[in-house]
Amino acid sequence: MKFNQFLTDSESKAFDLEHRRKIRFNIGKYNAAVQTGLGFYNDHELARERASYLKAKVMNHLDEYLLEFERNFTARGGKVIWAQDAADALREIGKIMARRKARTVVKAKSMTTEEIHLNDFLGKNGIDSLETDLGEYIVQLNGERPYHIVTPAMHLSKKDIADIFVKHLGIAPTDDAQQLVLTARHLLRDKYTTAEVGVTGGNFLIADTGAIAVTENEGNARLSATFPRTHIAIVGIEKMIPKLQDLDLFWPLLSTSGTGQQVTVYNTIYTGPRQPLEKDGPEEMYVVLLDNGRTNLLAQPDKREALHCIRCGACLNVCPVYKNIGGHTYEATYSGPIGSVITPHLSGLAENKHLSYASSLCGACTSVCPVKINIHNLLLKNRQQSVQQGLADSEEQRAIYFWKLTMLNRRLLNLLPARAKNWALFRMLTLVGWNKRREALEVAPKSFNKLWKERR
């Protein structure tokens, strides 16, 4: 059961002091950079308000914007694939690979490809899929999933990475970070020119231009999209923005909130395959518009704002729970507060409802979100939905039933002796794990109600 595994992994990571040291060190550097980056804004709150408004506008008319995007993208020779779920996306991607007789794929960092498990699918079909983002390449070598939305290898120290390179690439041991980067670069460069297909994600879909915008810091996505003859971009349908000019709002918000940069190093806009007078670019370009549960959220007006997320990772960096249990514990593509909100709707509420309880509801995530998603409130709504659908454990349901019964009946509450109340309290707190590392709570021998009656 995923819930039991989550509890086991959470306890293991929370008491792993070395893991916590690495995460606090790496996140600490990001948080310091973000504070500096926010200083470049004249009115950061106004920028957040504008971004929130635009995303809400898009979500309320998403069908119209998606069709506008398709018209404009196909007008320049691009092809759009509508994928209702991961199976749809993989089936169509498989057809493209077969037509191109692909044996090698170079892949830029993309959470949507992680979401549909593209690498596993390609591997089973005899296609070598190589991650070209350095962080993704490191975790791929180590057989892991990305740890963080923005920084896949955040949980690894420089020594950890050196050990991985020694083990899998056979290099001499080194603590020189530059040498490690050059090693990866040397191995990856030849792959760009020999791969038949390049795969990227997309940070934004631009409706009025029919384009996708890709944001990165290494240039690997640009190489993956330029050298291979076929470029496939796999993008969630919620990534839509209305106009090209809106990028001047969203690009800085994304980079500043995620890494503290004023703007990321490489920002590229792809409008389709290479045109007759253009010298570079792919011969054909596909955009896979991925639903995969997103319309489940779209159909719920009170939770729809979760689709505003631009995947900056800011909420992960401030979350006290994430900083203690780490990204892999969530066993989901999207971790941290926003992952706890959307995963139950993308992958099933019954199996993932526990993620919405993995929060202190401190509201730090909401306070830093660049598009003002009320994340901690959405976590509460997920909890409410799981109870309304009868997904709460039977023991929890009984405990809440008897608690409600006694709270609504003062006479019944007075009849219960302190010993019975302590037993019930012990059972309830044990159920939620309170008593495992804390002293048991005990009620007073006499209730306030009884003391008040005696006084009078």
Contact 297, 101 (CB under 8 A): no
How many Å apart are CA 237 and CA 250, to the nearest integer? 17
Q: DSSP state, 238?
A: G
> CATH number for the 44-292 domain, one of 3.50.50.60, 3.40.50.10420, 1.10.8.420, 2.60.40.1930?
3.40.50.10420
Domain boundaries, the chain: 1-39+312-392, 44-292, 394-455
pLDDT, tens only, 124-144: 999 999 999 999 999 999 999
Give, for 400, the enclosing helix (H) or strand (E).
Answer: helix 394-407
Tokens of 278: 């253009």
Token duo for residue 166: 């020694």
Predicted pLDDT of residue 272: 96
End-to-end Cα distance, the chain = 54
pLDDT for 411: 84
CA 456/CA 9 separation, integer angstroms: 54
* Residues forming a β-bridge with 240: 205
Query: What pTM, to 2 d.p., does this model score?
Result: 0.92
pLDDT of 271: 96
CB 187 within 8 A of CB 169: yes
Instruction: Give the pLDDT score at 3.
Output: 86
pLDDT value of position 258: 92
Q: What is the pLDDT of residue 279?
A: 87
User: Residues of the chain whose pLDDT is less than 50?
Assistant: none
How many Cβ atoms are within 10 Å of 130's Cβ, its own excluded?
19
| Residue entry with tokens 């509201």 | 363
3-state secondary structure of 317: helix
- Strands 197-200 and 230-236 come out as parallel
Structure tokens at 14: 């929370």
Torsion angles phi and psi, residue 235, rounded to 5: -135, 135
Cα–Cα distance for residue pair 6/327, rounded to 1 Å: 11
Given this model, what pLDDT does residue 446 score?
85
User: Angle, nearest 10°, between helix axes 17-38 and 247-259?
Assistant: 140
In angstroms, what CA-CA distances link 67 with 80, 104, 200, 201, 210?
10, 32, 21, 19, 10
DSSP 330: G
Nearest to 175 by CA among 164, 186, 160, 159: 159
Q: Residues near 261 by Cβ (< 8 Å), separated by ≥ 6?
A: 33, 37, 217, 255
Q: What does the pLDDT read at residue 4? A: 87
Q: What is the pLDDT of residues 137-181, one digit of tens each?
A: 999 999 999 999 999 999 999 999 999 999 999 999 888 889 999
| Pair of tokens at residue 15 | 């008491």
Q: How far is CA 269 from the centre of its chain?
A: 23
- List the one residue out of 270, 295, 115, 116 whose CA is nearest residue 205: 270
| CA–CA gap between residue 15 and residue 329 (Å, rounded) | 13
Residue 72 to residue 33: CA distance in whole angstroms: 38
Residues 6+ apart with CB under 8 A from 82: 88, 289, 291
pLDDT value for 436: 79
Structure tokens at 77: 């020779």
pLDDT in tens, 310-330: 999 999 999 999 999 999 999
